[in-house]
Structure 1
Amino acid sequence: MEEPQVRRRRPIHRTKEEHTGTRSRKWIPLIFIGFGLFCVIQALNLYLRILMETKNQQILQERDALKQKLQDIEYLTTEGWQYFEGSWYLGSYTERSWSESRKFCQEKGADLIIINSVQEQEFARMFHWNRWIGLSDLEHEGVWRWVDGSLVNTSFWHPGEPNNQGSEHCGTVYFDVRRDNWNDYSCTKKCYCICEK
Protein backbone atom coordinates (compact mmCIF):
# COMPACT_ATOMS: atom_id res chain seq x y z
CA MET A 1 0.00 0.00 0.00
CA GLU A 2 1.12 3.26 -0.83
CA GLU A 3 1.07 6.11 1.50
CA PRO A 4 -1.10 9.01 0.55
CA GLN A 5 0.73 12.03 -0.35
CA VAL A 6 0.10 15.03 1.76
CA ARG A 7 -0.08 18.09 -0.10
CA ARG A 8 1.94 20.83 1.34
CA ARG A 9 0.97 24.35 1.11
CA ARG A 10 3.37 26.65 -0.28
CA PRO A 11 4.14 29.62 1.88
CA ILE A 12 2.56 32.77 0.63
CA HIS A 13 5.15 35.24 -0.25
CA ARG A 14 4.01 38.76 -0.41
CA THR A 15 5.65 41.37 -2.33
CA LYS A 16 7.29 44.23 -0.51
CA GLU A 17 4.51 46.59 -1.64
CA GLU A 18 1.80 44.26 -0.25
CA HIS A 19 3.65 43.81 3.06
CA THR A 20 4.15 47.57 3.55
CA GLY A 21 0.52 48.32 2.71
CA THR A 22 -0.75 46.00 5.45
CA ARG A 23 1.53 47.55 8.00
CA SER A 24 0.61 51.09 7.05
CA ARG A 25 -3.08 50.23 7.35
CA LYS A 26 -2.50 49.28 10.97
CA TRP A 27 -1.26 52.82 11.69
CA ILE A 28 -4.26 54.59 10.13
CA PRO A 29 -6.47 54.32 13.27
CA LEU A 30 -3.58 55.53 15.41
CA ILE A 31 -3.04 58.47 13.09
CA PHE A 32 -6.75 59.40 13.32
CA ILE A 33 -6.71 59.07 17.11
CA GLY A 34 -3.54 61.18 17.31
CA PHE A 35 -5.00 63.82 15.01
CA GLY A 36 -8.21 63.84 17.03
CA LEU A 37 -6.25 64.33 20.27
CA PHE A 38 -4.24 67.09 18.63
CA CYS A 39 -7.47 68.86 17.61
CA VAL A 40 -8.92 68.51 21.12
CA ILE A 41 -5.73 69.91 22.65
CA GLN A 42 -5.72 72.82 20.20
CA ALA A 43 -9.40 73.57 20.91
CA LEU A 44 -8.69 73.46 24.64
CA ASN A 45 -5.70 75.73 24.14
CA LEU A 46 -7.81 78.21 22.17
CA TYR A 47 -10.57 78.10 24.80
CA LEU A 48 -8.08 78.73 27.61
CA ARG A 49 -6.48 81.60 25.72
CA ILE A 50 -9.88 83.23 25.14
CA LEU A 51 -10.81 82.66 28.79
CA MET A 52 -7.54 84.17 29.97
CA GLU A 53 -7.93 87.16 27.64
CA THR A 54 -11.48 87.74 28.90
CA LYS A 55 -10.31 87.47 32.52
CA ASN A 56 -7.40 89.80 31.75
CA GLN A 57 -9.82 92.36 30.28
CA GLN A 58 -12.01 92.09 33.41
CA ILE A 59 -9.01 92.61 35.66
CA LEU A 60 -7.90 95.63 33.62
CA GLN A 61 -11.40 97.13 33.80
CA GLU A 62 -11.55 96.56 37.57
CA ARG A 63 -8.09 98.09 37.93
CA ASP A 64 -9.15 101.14 35.92
CA ALA A 65 -12.33 101.49 37.98
CA LEU A 66 -10.31 101.32 41.21
CA LYS A 67 -7.84 103.88 39.87
CA GLN A 68 -10.76 106.18 39.05
CA LYS A 69 -12.22 105.71 42.54
CA LEU A 70 -8.86 106.54 44.10
CA GLN A 71 -8.60 109.66 41.94
CA ASP A 72 -12.15 110.63 42.92
CA ILE A 73 -11.36 110.08 46.61
CA GLU A 74 -8.19 112.14 46.32
CA TYR A 75 -10.09 114.92 44.55
CA LEU A 76 -12.99 114.89 47.03
CA THR A 77 -10.74 114.95 50.08
CA THR A 78 -8.64 117.82 48.68
CA GLU A 79 -11.90 119.71 48.03
CA GLY A 80 -12.93 119.29 51.69
CA TRP A 81 -15.41 116.41 51.36
CA GLN A 82 -15.68 113.99 54.28
CA TYR A 83 -16.66 110.32 53.97
CA PHE A 84 -19.15 108.82 56.41
CA GLU A 85 -21.07 105.52 56.17
CA GLY A 86 -21.18 105.27 52.38
CA SER A 87 -21.71 108.94 51.50
CA TRP A 88 -19.60 112.04 51.00
CA TYR A 89 -20.38 115.31 52.79
CA LEU A 90 -19.24 118.88 52.25
CA GLY A 91 -19.80 121.80 54.56
CA SER A 92 -19.96 125.12 52.72
CA TYR A 93 -17.84 128.11 53.72
CA THR A 94 -20.22 130.69 52.31
CA GLU A 95 -23.68 131.60 53.59
CA ARG A 96 -26.50 131.38 51.04
CA SER A 97 -30.28 131.06 50.97
CA TRP A 98 -31.78 127.55 51.04
CA SER A 99 -32.37 127.47 47.26
CA GLU A 100 -28.92 128.95 46.52
CA SER A 101 -27.38 126.36 48.84
CA ARG A 102 -29.22 123.57 47.06
CA LYS A 103 -27.97 124.87 43.72
CA PHE A 104 -24.43 125.03 45.15
CA CYS A 105 -24.66 121.35 46.15
CA GLN A 106 -26.16 120.29 42.82
CA GLU A 107 -23.34 122.01 40.94
CA LYS A 108 -21.01 119.72 42.87
CA GLY A 109 -22.96 116.60 41.84
CA ALA A 110 -24.70 116.40 45.22
CA ASP A 111 -27.74 117.77 47.04
CA LEU A 112 -28.51 119.08 50.49
CA ILE A 113 -28.06 116.41 53.17
CA ILE A 114 -30.86 113.95 53.90
CA ILE A 115 -30.60 112.67 57.47
CA ASN A 116 -31.87 109.10 57.74
CA SER A 117 -30.36 107.80 60.96
CA VAL A 118 -29.17 108.71 64.43
CA GLN A 119 -25.58 108.16 63.25
CA GLU A 120 -26.00 110.56 60.36
CA GLN A 121 -27.59 113.10 62.69
CA GLU A 122 -24.63 112.79 65.06
CA PHE A 123 -22.30 113.33 62.12
CA ALA A 124 -24.25 116.40 60.90
CA ARG A 125 -24.10 117.91 64.39
CA MET A 126 -20.31 118.13 64.11
CA PHE A 127 -20.53 120.89 61.48
CA HIS A 128 -20.30 124.30 63.11
CA TRP A 129 -22.89 127.08 62.74
CA ASN A 130 -26.44 126.95 61.50
CA ARG A 131 -26.58 124.89 58.29
CA TRP A 132 -29.24 124.15 55.69
CA ILE A 133 -30.33 120.54 55.34
CA GLY A 134 -32.42 119.08 52.52
CA LEU A 135 -35.72 119.50 54.39
CA SER A 136 -38.66 121.81 53.65
CA ASP A 137 -42.43 122.16 53.74
CA LEU A 138 -42.51 124.42 50.68
CA GLU A 139 -45.04 122.25 48.81
CA HIS A 140 -47.56 121.82 51.67
CA GLU A 141 -47.47 123.71 54.94
CA GLY A 142 -46.62 121.37 57.79
CA VAL A 143 -45.72 118.40 55.54
CA TRP A 144 -41.94 118.19 55.76
CA ARG A 145 -40.20 116.46 52.86
CA TRP A 146 -36.62 115.79 51.92
CA VAL A 147 -35.17 117.07 48.64
CA ASP A 148 -35.68 113.61 47.11
CA GLY A 149 -39.44 113.90 47.80
CA SER A 150 -39.54 111.42 50.68
CA LEU A 151 -41.33 112.18 53.94
CA VAL A 152 -39.45 112.56 57.21
CA ASN A 153 -39.33 109.18 58.99
CA THR A 154 -36.88 109.97 61.76
CA SER A 155 -36.79 113.54 63.02
CA PHE A 156 -34.54 115.46 65.34
CA TRP A 157 -36.49 118.67 65.84
CA HIS A 158 -35.41 120.93 68.66
CA PRO A 159 -38.18 121.10 71.31
CA GLY A 160 -40.91 123.45 70.09
CA GLU A 161 -39.88 123.14 66.45
CA PRO A 162 -41.03 123.35 63.74
CA ASN A 163 -43.03 126.42 64.70
CA ASN A 164 -43.31 128.32 61.39
CA GLN A 165 -42.49 131.54 63.19
CA GLY A 166 -42.29 134.25 60.57
CA SER A 167 -42.87 132.03 57.52
CA GLU A 168 -40.19 129.40 58.16
CA HIS A 169 -40.33 126.63 55.56
CA CYS A 170 -36.79 125.26 55.30
CA GLY A 171 -34.86 123.07 57.72
CA THR A 172 -31.54 123.72 59.40
CA VAL A 173 -29.32 121.83 61.77
CA TYR A 174 -27.22 123.85 64.17
CA PHE A 175 -24.17 123.06 66.20
CA ASP A 176 -25.43 122.15 69.65
CA VAL A 177 -24.74 119.72 72.46
CA ARG A 178 -28.26 118.33 72.07
CA ARG A 179 -28.94 115.70 69.46
CA ASP A 180 -32.35 117.18 68.63
CA ASN A 181 -31.24 120.38 66.94
CA TRP A 182 -33.33 120.84 63.80
CA ASN A 183 -34.98 124.19 63.31
CA ASP A 184 -37.35 125.58 60.71
CA TYR A 185 -36.00 128.81 59.28
CA SER A 186 -36.92 131.38 56.67
CA CYS A 187 -35.70 129.98 53.33
CA THR A 188 -34.42 133.37 52.17
CA LYS A 189 -32.10 133.89 55.13
CA LYS A 190 -28.40 133.16 54.68
CA CYS A 191 -26.87 130.02 56.25
CA TYR A 192 -24.08 127.64 55.56
CA CYS A 193 -25.12 124.21 54.27
CA ILE A 194 -24.18 120.52 54.23
CA CYS A 195 -24.06 118.77 50.84
CA GLU A 196 -24.29 115.00 50.45
CA LYS A 197 -23.48 112.66 47.60
Structure 2
Amino acid sequence: MKVTLIFGILVVHTMLKEYKTSVWELFKEKIELNGFICSPKDYVFTPSITTSKTVCAIRCTMNDSCASLFYDPSSLKCFGCNLSYNTGELNKTLPGSLYYDTNEILTTTYGPSFYFSGPKEQTFEEAVVYCVGQNAHVVEAETTEENEYLKTYFKNQQLLTGYEIWLGITDNDVEGVWKWNSSGEPLGGFFNWGVDMPTNKTFRNCAKFSEGRRRKWTDFQCMKRINMFTFCERYTDTCYVDKMILAIWMD
Protein backbone atom coordinates (compact mmCIF):
# COMPACT_ATOMS: atom_id res chain seq x y z
CA MET A 1 0.00 0.00 0.00
CA LYS A 2 2.80 2.38 0.96
CA VAL A 3 4.78 1.51 -2.18
CA THR A 4 1.69 2.10 -4.33
CA LEU A 5 1.09 5.48 -2.68
CA ILE A 6 4.70 6.55 -3.15
CA PHE A 7 4.58 5.39 -6.77
CA GLY A 8 1.34 7.34 -7.28
CA ILE A 9 2.87 10.50 -5.78
CA LEU A 10 5.92 10.14 -8.04
CA VAL A 11 3.70 9.73 -11.11
CA VAL A 12 1.64 12.80 -10.21
CA HIS A 13 4.80 14.77 -9.44
CA THR A 14 6.29 13.79 -12.79
CA MET A 15 3.09 14.71 -14.63
CA LEU A 16 2.92 18.09 -12.92
CA LYS A 17 6.58 18.70 -13.66
CA GLU A 18 6.08 17.84 -17.32
CA TYR A 19 2.95 19.99 -17.47
CA LYS A 20 4.76 22.90 -15.84
CA THR A 21 7.63 22.49 -18.29
CA SER A 22 5.30 22.35 -21.30
CA VAL A 23 3.38 25.43 -20.12
CA TRP A 24 6.64 27.25 -19.48
CA GLU A 25 7.94 26.33 -22.93
CA LEU A 26 4.67 27.47 -24.48
CA PHE A 27 4.76 30.88 -22.87
CA LYS A 28 8.48 31.18 -23.47
CA GLU A 29 7.80 30.63 -27.16
CA LYS A 30 7.31 33.77 -29.21
CA ILE A 31 7.96 35.13 -32.66
CA GLU A 32 10.56 37.86 -32.50
CA LEU A 33 12.04 39.64 -35.49
CA ASN A 34 13.84 42.97 -35.27
CA GLY A 35 11.72 44.12 -32.35
CA PHE A 36 8.42 42.62 -33.58
CA ILE A 37 7.17 40.23 -30.87
CA CYS A 38 4.00 38.20 -30.49
CA SER A 39 3.73 36.04 -27.38
CA PRO A 40 1.25 33.17 -26.95
CA LYS A 41 -1.01 35.29 -24.75
CA ASP A 42 -1.52 37.57 -27.76
CA TYR A 43 -2.24 34.82 -30.31
CA VAL A 44 -5.60 35.13 -32.07
CA PHE A 45 -5.28 31.58 -33.34
CA THR A 46 -2.79 28.87 -32.49
CA PRO A 47 0.49 28.46 -34.38
CA SER A 48 -0.13 24.78 -35.05
CA ILE A 49 -1.98 25.44 -38.31
CA THR A 50 -0.10 24.44 -41.45
CA THR A 51 -1.06 26.57 -44.41
CA SER A 52 0.14 28.84 -47.22
CA LYS A 53 0.95 32.54 -46.98
CA THR A 54 -2.27 33.52 -48.69
CA VAL A 55 -4.50 31.29 -46.55
CA CYS A 56 -2.68 32.64 -43.50
CA ALA A 57 -3.39 36.21 -44.61
CA ILE A 58 -7.03 35.41 -45.37
CA ARG A 59 -7.44 33.73 -41.97
CA CYS A 60 -6.23 36.92 -40.29
CA THR A 61 -8.39 39.09 -42.56
CA MET A 62 -11.48 37.11 -41.56
CA ASN A 63 -10.86 37.58 -37.83
CA ASP A 64 -11.69 40.99 -36.37
CA SER A 65 -9.27 40.40 -33.46
CA CYS A 66 -6.32 39.73 -35.77
CA ALA A 67 -4.23 42.90 -36.08
CA SER A 68 -1.10 41.30 -37.53
CA LEU A 69 0.34 37.97 -38.50
CA PHE A 70 3.57 36.06 -38.81
CA TYR A 71 4.16 33.23 -41.27
CA ASP A 72 6.99 30.71 -41.10
CA PRO A 73 7.41 28.97 -44.50
CA SER A 74 9.79 26.35 -43.12
CA SER A 75 7.12 24.92 -40.81
CA LEU A 76 4.09 26.39 -42.66
CA LYS A 77 2.88 27.77 -39.34
CA CYS A 78 0.60 30.77 -39.24
CA PHE A 79 0.62 33.01 -36.15
CA GLY A 80 -2.29 35.42 -35.79
CA CYS A 81 -1.66 38.21 -33.29
CA ASN A 82 -4.02 40.72 -31.68
CA LEU A 83 -1.30 43.36 -31.46
CA SER A 84 -0.54 45.74 -34.30
CA TYR A 85 3.05 46.13 -35.46
CA ASN A 86 3.40 49.07 -37.80
CA THR A 87 6.55 51.12 -38.32
CA GLY A 88 4.77 53.24 -40.89
CA GLU A 89 7.25 52.27 -43.60
CA LEU A 90 6.34 50.53 -46.85
CA ASN A 91 8.47 47.68 -48.16
CA LYS A 92 11.00 47.88 -45.37
CA THR A 93 13.36 44.97 -45.93
CA LEU A 94 14.46 43.18 -42.78
CA PRO A 95 17.17 40.49 -42.62
CA GLY A 96 15.51 37.20 -43.49
CA SER A 97 12.07 38.69 -43.98
CA LEU A 98 9.86 41.12 -45.82
CA TYR A 99 7.82 43.58 -43.82
CA TYR A 100 4.44 44.68 -45.12
CA ASP A 101 2.66 47.79 -43.94
CA THR A 102 -1.07 47.43 -43.31
CA ASN A 103 -1.85 48.70 -46.81
CA GLU A 104 0.28 46.04 -48.50
CA ILE A 105 -2.26 43.21 -48.65
CA LEU A 106 -5.15 43.93 -51.00
CA THR A 107 -8.23 41.73 -51.27
CA THR A 108 -11.61 42.22 -52.86
CA THR A 109 -14.53 40.19 -54.21
CA TYR A 110 -16.81 40.41 -57.21
CA GLY A 111 -19.48 37.82 -57.90
CA PRO A 112 -18.00 34.35 -57.38
CA SER A 113 -14.41 35.62 -57.53
CA PHE A 114 -12.02 36.45 -54.70
CA TYR A 115 -9.03 38.60 -55.75
CA PHE A 116 -5.83 39.11 -53.77
CA SER A 117 -2.55 40.88 -54.40
CA GLY A 118 0.69 39.00 -54.92
CA PRO A 119 4.31 40.08 -55.22
CA LYS A 120 5.51 43.07 -57.19
CA GLU A 121 8.12 43.04 -59.96
CA GLN A 122 7.32 39.59 -61.34
CA THR A 123 7.42 38.37 -64.94
CA PHE A 124 4.17 36.95 -66.31
CA GLU A 125 5.42 33.39 -65.86
CA GLU A 126 6.42 34.11 -62.27
CA ALA A 127 2.97 35.62 -61.66
CA VAL A 128 1.31 32.50 -63.10
CA VAL A 129 3.42 30.19 -60.93
CA TYR A 130 2.70 32.28 -57.83
CA CYS A 131 -1.06 32.31 -58.37
CA VAL A 132 -1.21 28.60 -59.20
CA GLY A 133 0.67 27.95 -55.95
CA GLN A 134 -2.19 29.71 -54.17
CA ASN A 135 -4.87 27.61 -55.96
CA ALA A 136 -5.72 30.58 -58.14
CA HIS A 137 -4.88 32.14 -61.51
CA VAL A 138 -3.70 35.53 -62.77
CA VAL A 139 -6.68 37.89 -62.73
CA GLU A 140 -9.01 37.63 -65.74
CA ALA A 141 -11.66 40.22 -66.65
CA GLU A 142 -14.14 38.17 -68.65
CA THR A 143 -17.11 40.53 -68.82
CA THR A 144 -17.71 44.27 -69.15
CA GLU A 145 -19.07 44.37 -65.60
CA GLU A 146 -16.12 42.52 -64.06
CA ASN A 147 -13.65 44.61 -66.03
CA GLU A 148 -15.27 47.87 -64.89
CA TYR A 149 -15.29 46.67 -61.27
CA LEU A 150 -11.59 45.80 -61.40
CA LYS A 151 -10.64 49.04 -63.15
CA THR A 152 -12.44 51.06 -60.47
CA TYR A 153 -10.90 49.00 -57.69
CA PHE A 154 -7.37 49.32 -59.10
CA LYS A 155 -7.86 53.05 -59.66
CA ASN A 156 -8.85 53.61 -56.02
CA GLN A 157 -5.87 51.75 -54.51
CA GLN A 158 -3.04 54.14 -53.73
CA LEU A 159 -0.68 51.20 -53.40
CA LEU A 160 -1.15 50.47 -57.12
CA THR A 161 -0.27 53.98 -58.28
CA GLY A 162 2.47 53.78 -60.88
CA TYR A 163 2.06 50.02 -61.31
CA GLU A 164 0.63 48.01 -64.17
CA ILE A 165 -1.17 44.75 -63.49
CA TRP A 166 -0.79 41.46 -65.30
CA LEU A 167 -3.90 40.26 -67.14
CA GLY A 168 -4.38 36.51 -67.57
CA ILE A 169 -4.44 36.33 -71.37
CA THR A 170 -1.75 35.37 -73.92
CA ASP A 171 -1.39 34.75 -77.66
CA ASN A 172 1.56 32.40 -77.25
CA ASP A 173 0.00 29.61 -79.33
CA VAL A 174 -1.12 31.58 -82.37
CA GLU A 175 -0.09 35.19 -82.92
CA GLY A 176 -3.12 37.44 -82.61
CA VAL A 177 -5.38 34.76 -81.13
CA TRP A 178 -5.72 35.74 -77.49
CA LYS A 179 -6.77 33.11 -74.96
CA TRP A 180 -7.54 33.05 -71.26
CA ASN A 181 -4.45 31.67 -69.57
CA SER A 182 -6.31 29.57 -66.99
CA SER A 183 -8.54 27.67 -69.43
CA GLY A 184 -6.85 28.05 -72.81
CA GLU A 185 -10.19 29.22 -74.25
CA PRO A 186 -10.23 32.11 -76.78
CA LEU A 187 -11.60 35.46 -75.63
CA GLY A 188 -15.33 35.71 -76.19
CA GLY A 189 -17.08 38.83 -77.41
CA PHE A 190 -15.60 41.05 -74.68
CA PHE A 191 -12.22 42.80 -74.63
CA ASN A 192 -10.99 46.18 -73.48
CA TRP A 193 -7.93 46.95 -75.60
CA GLY A 194 -6.51 50.43 -75.64
CA VAL A 195 -6.06 52.48 -78.81
CA ASP A 196 -4.04 50.61 -81.49
CA MET A 197 -3.95 47.55 -79.23
CA PRO A 198 -3.06 44.77 -79.47
CA THR A 199 -0.03 45.42 -81.66
CA ASN A 200 0.28 41.66 -82.32
CA LYS A 201 4.04 41.89 -82.40
CA THR A 202 5.71 38.53 -81.91
CA PHE A 203 7.59 39.66 -78.81
CA ARG A 204 4.47 41.01 -77.05
CA ASN A 205 2.55 37.82 -76.20
CA CYS A 206 1.24 38.82 -72.76
CA ALA A 207 -1.08 41.58 -71.60
CA LYS A 208 -1.63 43.97 -68.74
CA PHE A 209 -3.98 46.56 -67.31
CA SER A 210 -2.10 49.73 -68.25
CA GLU A 211 -1.15 52.30 -65.64
CA GLY A 212 -3.44 55.27 -65.09
CA ARG A 213 -7.13 55.86 -64.50
CA ARG A 214 -8.42 54.14 -67.66
CA ARG A 215 -6.60 50.82 -67.09
CA LYS A 216 -7.02 49.74 -70.73
CA TRP A 217 -5.59 46.42 -71.90
CA THR A 218 -2.17 46.53 -73.53
CA ASP A 219 -0.13 43.73 -75.05
CA PHE A 220 3.26 43.46 -73.42
CA GLN A 221 6.50 41.51 -73.22
CA CYS A 222 6.08 38.51 -70.95
CA MET A 223 9.56 38.76 -69.44
CA LYS A 224 9.17 42.34 -68.24
CA ARG A 225 8.82 42.84 -64.51
CA ILE A 226 9.59 46.53 -63.79
CA ASN A 227 6.55 48.31 -62.33
CA MET A 228 4.45 45.15 -62.68
CA PHE A 229 2.01 44.01 -60.01
CA THR A 230 0.58 40.50 -59.62
CA PHE A 231 -3.10 40.02 -58.79
CA CYS A 232 -4.62 36.54 -58.43
CA GLU A 233 -8.21 35.38 -58.78
CA ARG A 234 -9.85 32.40 -57.11
CA TYR A 235 -13.44 31.25 -57.56
CA THR A 236 -15.19 30.83 -54.26
CA ASP A 237 -18.62 30.79 -52.66
CA THR A 238 -17.24 32.39 -49.51
CA CYS A 239 -17.61 36.11 -48.95
CA TYR A 240 -14.41 37.56 -47.52
CA VAL A 241 -14.31 40.75 -45.51
CA ASP A 242 -11.69 43.21 -46.71
CA LYS A 243 -9.63 44.51 -43.79
CA MET A 244 -6.24 46.19 -43.43
CA ILE A 245 -3.70 43.77 -41.98
CA LEU A 246 0.01 43.61 -41.43
CA ALA A 247 2.16 40.66 -42.33
CA ILE A 248 5.73 39.74 -41.56
CA TRP A 249 6.82 36.96 -43.92
CA MET A 250 9.72 35.07 -42.32
CA ASP A 251 11.37 33.98 -45.60
TM-score band w.r.t. shorter chain: 0.5 to 0.7
Match of 2:110 among 76, 84, 92: 84
Percent of aligned positions that are identical: 25
Which secondary structure does the structure 2 equivalent of 1:100 belong to? helix
Output aligned runs, 1:33-182, within 5 Å: 74-75=58-59, 77=61, 80-125=106-151, 126-127=153-154, 128=160, 129-147=163-181, 148-153=183-188, 154-165=190-201, 167-178=203-214, 181-182=216-217
Structure-2 separation of matches of 1:140 and 1:161: 17
Query: Residue 76 of structure 1: CA displacement?
Result: 7.5
Structure 1 residues 84, 187: CA separation in 2 closer, same or farther (over 3 Å shift)?
A: same
Question: 1:86-118, CA deviations, whole angstroms, 9 ceiling, x for partnerless residues?
Answer: 110012242100010000101111001121112
TM-score, with structure 2 as normaliser: 0.46
Q: Which has the higher strand share?
A: 2
Larger Rg, first or second structure (1 or 2)? 1
Q: What stretches of structure 1 of length at least 5 have no aligned partner?
A: 1-70
Does structure 1 residue 192 correspond to structure 2 residue 233? no
Whole-Å separation in 1 of the counterparts to 2:111 and 2:57: 14
TM-score normalized by the length of structure 1: 0.57
Runs ≥4 in structure 1, deviation > 3 angstroms? 71-74, 76-80
Determine the structure 2 residue equivalent to 1:53.
Answer: none
Paired residues in the alignment total: 126
Contact 1:166 1:186 in 2 (8 A): no
